[in-house]
Amino acid sequence: MKRRRLLLGGLLIASLMITIGCGGNQSANQSTSGSKTLTLLTSPDYPPYGFYDTAGGARKIVGFDIDIANYVAKELGYELKVQESDFNGLIPALQVNRADFVMAGMTPTDERKKNVDFSTIYFQAKNTIVALKGNNLAKAENFAGKRVGVQLGSIQEGDLKKISEKVQGIQIKALNRVPEIIQEVKAKRIDAAIVEDTVIQGFTKANPDLEYNVIPSEGPSGSAIAFPKGSARVAEFNQVLEKMKTSGELDRLAKQWFATSAPASPSPSPTK
């Protein structure tokens, strides 16, 4: 009897592993309620695109990107499942199909396009230099000999590396999350940082000892949705995004989440 119980137990475990394995190969699948689901992967350290809302004791990822993702999923007949990762891990996660798509204020650079596919641009923003007030770091030319922070894997990191080719002595400090970068500035462990304007507005409002100044960028610009290479979802997402632009829904969400609204304008202005 003991051998029979062990055999039955082994068969049950094997069956369970097969079931889990089959279900894990696709990120868009059937939920427990029978509804189709789409998995969004984001980096929830980038308000107002995506961040944790802890009001009332809850801990939920909310933001501009999350609202857009929910709208698109509903239009396409899916439930949305939101998961998180450090920004630097988003594209690698798509490459192994951990998610159906990524939204994190991500700019479709040529380098990223080698590894993932992108939707059309849905929002534009600008780079800024953030520093403690009185530091006289309003321009990139003032970075000589300074310690400057950026988010690891972001377009700002690439922009700062280009600046360092022209301005000598810059010490680049790349960190995983924007709040860490802000704390480094406040603690004077770095002299300044490059952060998107729509993101830094919230931090400077909460930290009056900080100031920011917009700087020009010569590279790619705008936020887009990233997908695994060859994803059939790009076209259907683009259709919904176009509908949102035409109906004014993107503009409404931008006004809700940003101090100033600038959805999908053609002017060159970078995100991450």
Which CATH superfamily includes the segment(s) 26-124+222-257?
Periplasmic binding protein-like II (3.40.190.10)
0.85 surpassed by pTM: no
- Where in the chain are all domains bearing CATH 3.40.190.10? 26-124+222-257, 127-215
Between the alpha carbon of residue 108 and those of residues 111, 215, 219, 270, the distances in Å are 8, 20, 10, 10
Average pLDDT over residues 67-92: 97
80: pLDDT strictly greater than 60:
yes
In angstroms, the CA 235 to CA 53 distance is: 31
248: pLDDT strictly greater than 50:
yes
Average pLDDT over residues 88-103: 96
DSSP string, the chain: -HHHHHHHHHHHHHHHHHHHHHHHT-SS-B-TTS-BEEEEEE-TEETTTEEEE-GGG--EEESHHHHHHHHHHHHTT-EEEEEE--GGGHHHHHHTTS-SEE-SS----HHHHTTEEE----B---EEEEEETTS---SGGGGTT-EEEEETTSHHHHHHHHHHHHSTT-EEEEES-HHHHHHHHHTTSSSEEEEEHHHHHHHHHH-TTEEEEEE---S--SB--EEETT-THHHHHHHHHHHHHHHTHHHHHHHHHSSS--TT-SS-----
Which CATH superfamily includes the segment(s) 127-215?
Periplasmic binding protein-like II (3.40.190.10)
22: pLDDT strictly greater than 90:
no
Average pLDDT over residues 256-266: 52
User: What is the per-residue pLDDT for 92?
Assistant: 97
Higher pLDDT: 44 or 272? It is 44
Question: Residue 122: CA atoms inside 13 Å, Cβ hemisphere, count?
Answer: 32
User: What is the per-residue pLDDT for 24?
Assistant: 38
Report residue 194's pLDDT band, with 50, 70 and 90 as the boundaries. very high
Higher pLDDT: 45 or 6? It is 45
User: What is the per-residue pLDDT for 141?
Assistant: 94
Higher pLDDT: 62 or 19? It is 62
Report residue 58's pLDDT band, with 50, 70 and 90 as the boundaries. confident
User: What is the per-residue pLDDT for 218?
Assistant: 64
Higher pLDDT: 121 or 12? It is 121
User: What is the per-residue pLDDT for 13?
Assistant: 37
Average pLDDT, the chain: 84
Higher pLDDT: 47 or 42? It is 42
User: What is the per-residue pLDDT for 221?
Assistant: 77
Average pLDDT over residues 18-35: 44
Average pLDDT over residues 250-254: 92
